[in-house]
Amino acid sequence: MSLKLKGFDSNKDVLVDPSAVGGANVVIANVPCEGSVYIAAAVVMQANGTAKNALADSLANSNVIGTVESKPTVNTCNIRVLGITPGIFTGLDVSKEYYLSDGTPGLVTTTIPTASGHVVLKLGQPYSATEFLMSKGQRTVRL
């Protein structure tokens, strides 16, 4: 059973599937996004309400809301905020943790940023080679 809720200040659909892993499976549907946003990208929200690819080069660019699990159109996306993505990834290693890249916008990677001033943000871990458990951690700035 799925519930469909209206939420936030705008009329964005928030989909919650209580039958999923512990009832924690949340997707924000039909979010405006930049054309460069791609499926499986980690994204941040801009002040104008548009999602863009996140990057761990600063606090502002690394304020990740979730990962894009689908794009109904070029300029809209469905963002997984919490829970397990569908099989949108390839080659994930279930023995590793994944972080936001500080070099490639939107990239979910096993490489931890090391540059001074860059942000370390654990995004989650694989559930399988193609599915990702989104469970964002605390951001830390490298000194």
**Structural domain of 11:** 3-141
Report whether pLDDT(103) > 70: yes
CB crowding 53-91: b at 16 or more within 10 Å, else e: bbbbbeeebbebbbbbbebeeeebbbbbbbbbbeebbee
pLDDT tens digit string along 104-127? 999 999 999 999 999 999 999 999
Distances (CA, A) of 16 to 2, 25, 38, 62, 79: 6, 6, 22, 25, 12
With a cut of 90, say whether residue 44 has pLDDT above it. Answer: yes
| Strand partners of residue 124 | 98, 134
pTM of the predicted structure, to 2 decimals: 0.83
Place of tokens 């519930």: 3
Task: Look at residue 8 in the predicted model and tell me its pLDDT.
Answer: 46
Contact 33, 43 (CB under 8 A): yes
**Rounded to the nearest 5 degrees, what angle is found at the Cα of 35, between the Cα atoms of 34 and 36?**
90
49-79 confidence digits (pLDDT tens): 999 999 999 999 999 999 999 999 999 999 9
Q: How many separate domains does the chain show?
A: 1
Residue 12 pLDDT exceeds 90? no
